[in-house]
Every structure is written in structure tokens, then in C-alpha cells.
Structure 1
Amino acid sequence: MTNVGIVLVSHSLELVKGLEELLNQIKQSVPIAIAGGTDENEIGTDVFKIKQAIQSVYSEKGVAVLFDLGSALINAELALEMLDDTKYIKIADAPLVEGAYAAVVQSGIGGTLVEVIGSAEETKNLQKIIR
């Protein structure tokens, strides 16, 4: 069984590599791809890296995309525009680390794309409660 794929987008390649390493400790058959930094290995995001990451984990179960900062969202949206079929791809409005953790757990137990996105986005509310 294929689970919902997770794409982690960050301005820092090191940040998403570290997050991927953390998530690999808990994932259960969850495809994870990262898109961090620019082609020149500098801070920033690259629409083509994001597109490739999405394609690498794509299935009809879906893909949840999480991002760190606003311009990463813009490039993720541009990457979606470059793809033919995006009905199974959703961008989560969630904190990157907490949202990715929740998304991987939900995907790992067989959650749908809607459930995975919902779990990721719910972590925003948890941050408000903790504060």
C-alpha cells in the first residue's frame, strides 16, 4: 500500500536534510522528498527542485507539501502550476517541523491526503495552546 507522500521545502538544504533524518526515525512506508536551497547551494528555494521533489513521491494517494517561509510557498505554488494534474497535491498551512511530524504519522497509519493535511495544519493550534 502506498501512503501519502510528503515534500519538505526550505530555504536551507541543511534544515530539510536534518528534518528528513528526524522523520526517518518514525516513518512507516511514507515517501519523503526534500527541496532545499538553490542550485548554487545558497539560501533560497528553487521551483524546479520543488517540482522534482513532488514528482518523486507522487501517487494517487496524494502529496502533502510543507514549507518554511513565504517565498517557499510562492515557489511551491509555481511548481504546482507546472504540473499537469494537481488534484492529489495540497500545500499545508502548517509549521514545517511540527506539521511534517504530524503529517508523517498520519500518512504512516494510512491517512488520506485530507487527513494528512489536516493533521499538519492542526499543529498551528497546538502552538497557540502551548503559548
Structure 2
Amino acid sequence: MSAEPAGATAGSAGSPVGVVLVSHSGPVAQSVAVLAAGLAGSGDTVPVAAAGGTPDGGLGTSAELITEAARTVDRGAGVAILVDLGSAVLTVKALIAEGDELPGGARLVDAPFVEGAVAAVVTASTGADLDAVAAAAGEAYGYRKE
């Protein structure tokens, strides 16, 4: 979960896709990041960052924390951003629309937060490109628990 800024085209010469997990709660975002990385067995091979809560530790979303997290995980292969609730979606969409806040290749991924995070990190750990990471995370909507 270290930083190394770069451009951002999917599939950049062996660089992994980065994953950002945006929650209204800092502890939730951090816990899901640890869970996804642990279950993927990715160690430091897949950069994963949590962007949870507000800068003062409160509940909410923060454009600054999301931007910082995305820049931290960007290795040039794109950044998959997964979110928990509605206003997090709006914040990420606004950042993408601005065009210069997030690294090029940053993408909001429509996926369930926990299952999608695990699928995204596992898929990124295989060296898959951003399209495949986003698709795997989105497929988590179909995971049945019965």
C-alpha cells in the first residue's frame, strides 16, 4: 500500500491495477482493504488503499482522501474505485468529471463493496487489466449466499 505515481493506461507493462475502497467510515474502508488483500494473498503486489470517512475522522466522504488514495495506488495500469453508498458515488463521479483530480485511467466500478473488493484485488493480483478487474468486481453482484 505504497505510492508510485504514473500515467494510467490499462495493462501498463506488468504494472498492477490499483484498487481504492471508499466508505463513509474510515475503519470500514480500512478493514475491507485488509480483508481483500489478505484473501487475495496479494501482499504488496496489488496496491490497495482505503479512503474512508472525513479527514477529521468523522463519517462521510472526502474528495481529498479519495484523490490521495487513488494517486497512492496508481502504477500506470488504471485504478478501480469501489464505493459503499450513494454520496460516495456522487463524490467519485464529480472527481472523474473534473478530469484532473484523479489519475488517468481511474474508474468508478459498479460492484458490491466487500465482495467486489475481494474480486477486484484477486483479479488484479493475476495481472489482469482494468476492464477485467472491473468486470470481476461487478460479477460479485451474482454471488449467491443460499
Matching residue's letter, 2:70: I
**Correspondence for 1:37:** 53
| Percent of pairs with identical residues | 36
Matching residue's letter, 2:42: K
Contact 1:103 1:116 in 2 (8 A): yes
Provide closer, same or farther for how the CA distance between residues 51 and 83 of structure 1 changes in structure 2, counting only shifts above 3 A: farther
Structure 1 Cα separation of the partners of residues 60 and 128 of structure 2 = 31
Contact 2:37 2:118 in 1 (8 A): no
- Structure 2: which 5+ residue stretches go unaligned? 1-13
Structure 2 Cα separation of the partners of residues 40 and 57 of structure 1 = 22
Relative to its length, the structure with more helix (as a share) is: 1
Structure 2 Cα separation of the partners of residues 119 and 49 of structure 1 = 25
Q: For residue 24 of structure 1, give the secondary structure of its aligned residue in structure 2.
A: helix
- Structure 1: which 5+ residue stretches go unaligned? none
Provide closer, same or farther for how the CA distance between residues 81 and 52 of structure 1 changes in structure 2, counting only shifts above 3 A: farther
Q: TM-score, normalised by structure 1?
A: 0.90
How many residues are paired up? Answer: 129
Q: Over aligned residues, Cα RMSD in angstroms?
A: 1.7
Structure 1 Cα separation of the partners of residues 42 and 136 of structure 2 = 15
**Correspondence for 2:96:** 80
Higher relative contact order (CA 8 A, sep 6+): 2
**Correspondence for 1:123:** 140
Moved beyond 4 Å, runs of 4+: none
Q: TM-score, normalised by structure 2?
A: 0.81
Matching residue's letter, 1:88: G
Corresponding position: 1:56 with 2:69: no
